[in-house]
Structure 1
Amino acid sequence: MKTFKNLSILLMAITVVVLAGCTQSANSEDVTTLRLGHIQNESHAWHQGAIRFAELVEEKTNGSVQVDIYPSSTLGSDRDLIEGMQIGSVDFALAAGVMSNFHQPYAILEAPYMFQDLEHLEDFLYGESGKNLQQEMLDETGVRGLEFWIRGPRQLTTNKLVERPSDLQGVKIRVPNIEASVESWTAMGSNPTPMNFSEVYSSLQTGVIDAQENPISFTANAQIQDVQDYLIMTNHVYGYVQLLMSDLTYEKLDGSEQQAVEEAAQEARNYQNEIVFQEEEKALQDMKEAGVEVIEVDTEPFEELVQPVHERLADKYGRDLYETIVNLR
C-alpha cells in the first residue's frame, strides 16, 4: 500500500508540474512582447523614462503587453529606428530631430533659436499645434507620436574659445544630419559636418571634427569632456524627444491595450520631464569637475545670423507653422 501511495503522490506531482507548464505556455502565448529602441546609454533620463513606460504598460495591460528596451543604438541609429517602425520591425523608439527627414515640417522646430525658452517650447508641444503636427506625421509616415518629452537645451562644446560668431570661422562642428542644423551652423560661420553621434567621440579624439553640440547630459554621458576643453552656453535649441510607435504595431493591439499604451506614455512623459533637468545639473557638475571651462555668451549675435534660415524654412515647410511658433513668444 505504501508503494502505491507513493506512486499516487508522484503521479499527482507530475500532473501539477505538467499543468503548470501548460498554463505558463498558454499565458506566454497571450503576452505580446514589443521592442523599444533608443540611442542613449542606460544611465540617461531617456532610458529611465523608457523603463517607467515599460512598467506602466505591463501594469495597465495586466501583463498582456510587455516592452523590452534596447538602449545604446542596439537596434540602430535614429534613422534606422524610424525606418524600422515604418515596416514594423521596431515597435517603439525615442527619437529627436531625425523626424524632419521623414516629415519635413519638423525641420522648423529644429532651427537654432526658434524657441526662446523652455516655456515657449512647452506651449507649442503640448498645445493643439503639437497634436496637429503629430497627426500629420502619422498620416505621412505611419509612425505615431505618443508623447513629446523635454530635453535640456543644446550647448556647444569646443577645443577653441568661442565667445562670438566670428570665433566659429573654420571650426568643424558635428551636427545631426538635419537640414536646419546644417544651414544654421553654416550661417553662424562654422563648418558643419553631419555624422552619427556614435562616431563623435573618436572623431573629436582624432581631430576629424573640432566641436559638437548637444544637451549637457547627452554630452557628459558620452564622456565628451575627455576630449573637449570648453562648454559654450549657447542655449541654441530648446528641444524635445518623441516617444514614437509603429502604427502597424498600434493597430495590432486591442482597444484597451491601445488606451493603456497612451496612458502609460503620458505618465512616463511626466516622469522623464521631472528627472531630465536633475540629470542636466549633475552632468554640468561632472563636466566642470573634469576640467571643462564653462563660457557664458551673449546669444543675440548668434540669433541674428540664423534669422534668414528661419525665413527659408518657413517658406519651404510651412509659413503657418512658423507663424504659430512665433506668435507663442
Structure 2
Amino acid sequence: MMKTISSLLGLMLLTVFVLGGCASSATSGDNKDVTVLRLGHIQSESDIWNVSSVKFAELVNEKTNGSVKVEIYPSSTLGSDRDLIEGMQIGSVDFSLVAGVMSNFYTPYSILELPYLFDDMDHMKAFLYGEGGKKLQQDMLEATGVRGLEFFIRAPRELTTNKLVEMPADLKGIKIRVPNIEASVEGWEAMGANPTPMNFSEVYSSLQTGVIDAQENPASFITSAKIHEVQDYLIKTDHVYGYVQLLMSDKTYQKLTEAEQKAVEEAAIEARDYQNELVAKADEEALQEMKDAGVEIIEVDKEAFKDLVLPVHKRLADKYGRELYDSIVNTNQ
C-alpha cells in the first residue's frame, strides 16, 4: 500500500512540475524555446497604458528574435494594483504598469505624490530619468524584489469645479474628490478645500448629485469619464506631475539570459518614449474637447497654491525620506 501511495505522489508531483513549466515556456514551430511572460494592468484595452504595453511586447519580441513573448492582460484581469505587485514579488506576474500604489510597498514613493513637488514636466523628467530616479528604483528593488524598468509620464492633474476658482481662498468649503493618498488629502486640506477620498468609479454620479463639488485628474481621464459633462470649469493647477511605472519581477528578470535582459531594458526605453508622445497628444486633445463642450479653462497663479502645501512637504519628507525629497527639489533641469 505504501509503495502504491508513494508512486501516486511521485506521479502527481511530476504532473505539477510539467504543467508549471508549460506556463512559462513553449516550443515554436522551428523547435526554438520561447519564454512566455505576462504583463498586467488595471486600465482598459483602449487606454494608453494598454497601447504602450502592446508596443513594449512587440519590441521585446523583436529584440529577442522571438525568444521572449509578452502577453498583455488589461482591465485587472490579473488582479488589482496590489495583486500585481504581490504577484511580481513571488514571481507569478512578470510585468505590470502601476502608479502611486507602489508607495504601499516602498513608502518613499509617497513623496512623489506631493502636490507641487515638481516645478513642471521638465523638472520631473530630469529627476526620474536621471541618477535620482535610478537610485530610487534600485532602492525599491532591494526592498521589494520588484525591478523598476522605466517611468512612463502622465499628464498633470487639473482641478474641475462648478465654482470659479482663481485663488486658494476660493477653495473654502469645496468638497473635492481625491484618491486615498496621504499626500493628496493633506495637500488639499492645506490649500483650503474639503478633500473626500472616493473610488474613481463613483465620481461622475457624486458630482451629478452634489455629493462632491469638484475632482482632480489629468485632462484625458476627465474626458474619458465624461466628467466635463457635469463640471463648468477646469482650473489649470498642474498640482501633480505624475507617472506610471513599468515594473518587472526580479525573479523573472534573473531567469532571462543577459542578452534577453538587455533587450527588455531597451524595449522599455523605446516604449516609454512612445507612450510619452501619446500622453502629450491625448492631453492636448482632451483640453480642446472640453473647450468645445463649453468648459471654461482658468489659468491661476500656481505659486499661491504651492506656498500653502510647503508645510505638508516638510512633514512627509521627514516621515518618508528627507534625502529623497531634497534630491528631487535640488535636481537641475
Once residues 201 and 74 of structure 1 are traced to their aligned partners in structure 2, the CA distance between those partners, rounded to angstroms, is 24
Once residues 27 and 166 of structure 1 are traced to their aligned partners in structure 2, the CA distance between those partners, rounded to angstroms, is 69
Tell me whether 1:173 sits opposite 2:176 in the alignment. yes
Distance change >3 Å, CA 226–CA 74, structure 1 → 2: farther
Instruction: Quote how far apart the aligned CAs of 1:53 are.
Output: 0.4
Matching of residues 199-238 of structure 1 within 5 Å: 199-238=202-241
Q: Flag as ranges the 4+ runs of structure 1 deviating above 6 A.
A: 23-29
Tell me whether 1:132 sits opposite 2:138 in the alignment. no
Matching of residues 170-319 of structure 1 within 5 Å: 170-319=173-322
Q: Is the 8 A contact 2:27 2:34 kept in 1?
A: no
Once residues 163 and 273 of structure 1 are traced to their aligned partners in structure 2, the CA distance between those partners, rounded to angstroms, is 30
Once residues 198 and 88 of structure 2 are traced to their aligned partners in structure 1, the CA distance between those partners, rounded to angstroms, is 22
Q: Which amino acid in 2 is paired with 1:148?
A: F
Structure 1: runs of 5+ lacking an equivalent: 1-22
Give 1:19's aligned residue. none
Matching of residues 105-184 of structure 1 within 5 Å: 105-184=108-187
Tell me whether 1:96 sits opposite 2:99 in the alignment. yes
Give 1:52's aligned residue. 55
Q: May I ask how many residue pairs the two structures share in their alignment?
A: 307
**CA-to-partner distance for each residue in 1:7-44, whole Å, 9 max, x for gaps?**
xxxxxxxxxxxxxxxx9766699333222222333343
Q: Which has the larger radius of gyration?
A: 1
**CA-to-partner distance for each residue in 1:96-148, whole Å, 9 max, x for gaps?**
22222211111112101111011111111111111000011111112110001
Structure 2: runs of 5+ lacking an equivalent: 1-25
Give 1:78's aligned residue. 81
Once residues 159 and 216 of structure 1 are traced to their aligned partners in structure 2, the CA distance between those partners, rounded to angstroms, is 16
**CA-to-partner distance for each residue in 1:148-179, whole Å, 9 max, x for gaps?**
11111111112222222222223222222221
Once residues 249 and 80 of structure 1 are traced to their aligned partners in structure 2, the CA distance between those partners, rounded to angstroms, is 17
Q: Is the 8 A contact 1:101 1:178 kept in 2?
A: no
Once residues 307 and 137 of structure 2 are traced to their aligned partners in structure 1, the CA distance between those partners, rounded to angstroms, is 29
Distance change >3 Å, CA 295–CA 67, structure 1 → 2: same
Structure 1 length normalisation: TM-score? Answer: 0.86
Identity across the alignment (%): 73
Deviates more, 1:78-87 or 1:135-144: 78-87
Instruction: Quote how far apart the aligned CAs of 1:192 are.
Output: 1.9
Q: Secondary structure at the match of 1:31?
A: strand
Once residues 231 and 77 of structure 2 are traced to their aligned partners in structure 1, the CA distance between those partners, rounded to angstroms, is 26
Q: Secondary structure at the match of 2:294?
A: coil
